A and B are shown apart, each in its own frame.
Chain A
């Protein structure tokens, strides 16, 4: 059964304190791994898609990496506006839907 596990559930950082969020997954055939950001009361906002092990993508202070079993979202020198819940999802080959983890709630204090 396809499964996505995110850790930690919650992370508190000081502004400028870099860290990483983990997404471990089990899938029969990976079609894609997706990272989203979700602010309270809003729908998920697309960040990255990764397709194969070794792939990396960057956007501002965020960098996503992928191995055959997990993905990391690295946050460099975070700012308070980076506070949000970060969601990881996988798409199994032959499937259209995404399978989501429960997310990591990130709080960045000034």
Chain B
């Protein structure tokens, strides 16, 4: 079946602009996660949605970062006033009910000039 999809695959923006990254989880998966992967660093947790519960935002690095999940499916990660240090690959993952296994999408490579 279809895996997690993310768009765009690449995004180049100028410092100070806002960007939106999209994630379509696997159908039927109730949990959705955002991570980012910087060069030479491990994956860093950003935010986690589980069903209709309030999201766990504990990993968001600043108030410039926000995310929403509409209808329990598609999620959008928004970065306002982008900075060069925001350059990274942003990865989305989803999990089916009753398991902890996270299945990752291909990522969005964000470059802030």
Contacts and interface: CB of A to CB of B under 8 A. Distances in A.
Given A43-B91, A44-B91, A100 B42 contact: yes
B101 A103 contact: no
B43 A100 contact: yes
A102 B33 CA distance: 19
Given A87-B43, A96-B50, A99-B45, A42 B59 contact: no
Contacts, number: 56
Binding site of B, secondary structure by majority: helix, strand, loop or mixed?
strand
A91 B103 CA distance: 14
Nearest to A49: B101
A43 B4 contact: yes
A23 to B, nearest CB: 12
B84 interface: no
Range of interface residues on B (Cβ < 8 Å): 20 to 34
B27 interface: no
Interface in A76-103: 87, 89, 91, 96-103
A91 B100 contact: yes
B25 interface: no
A66 B79 CA distance: 38
Contacts of A46: 101-104
Contacts of A4: 42
A100 B41 CA distance: 10
Interface of B: 4, 31, 33, 35, 40-45, 48, 50, 56, 59, 91, 93, 100-107
22 contacts: A32-B100, A34-B101, A41-B106, A42-B107, A43-B93, A43-B104, A46-B101, A46-B103, A46-B104, A49-B100, A49-B101, A91-B100, A96-B33, A97-B45, A97-B56, A98-B45, A98-B102, A100-B42, A100-B43, A102-B40, A102-B42, A103-B42
Given A31-B100, A46-B101, A101-B42, 10 more contacts: A34-B102, A43-B4, A43-B104, A46-B104, A89-B43, A96-B56, A97-B59, A98-B43, A98-B45, A99-B45
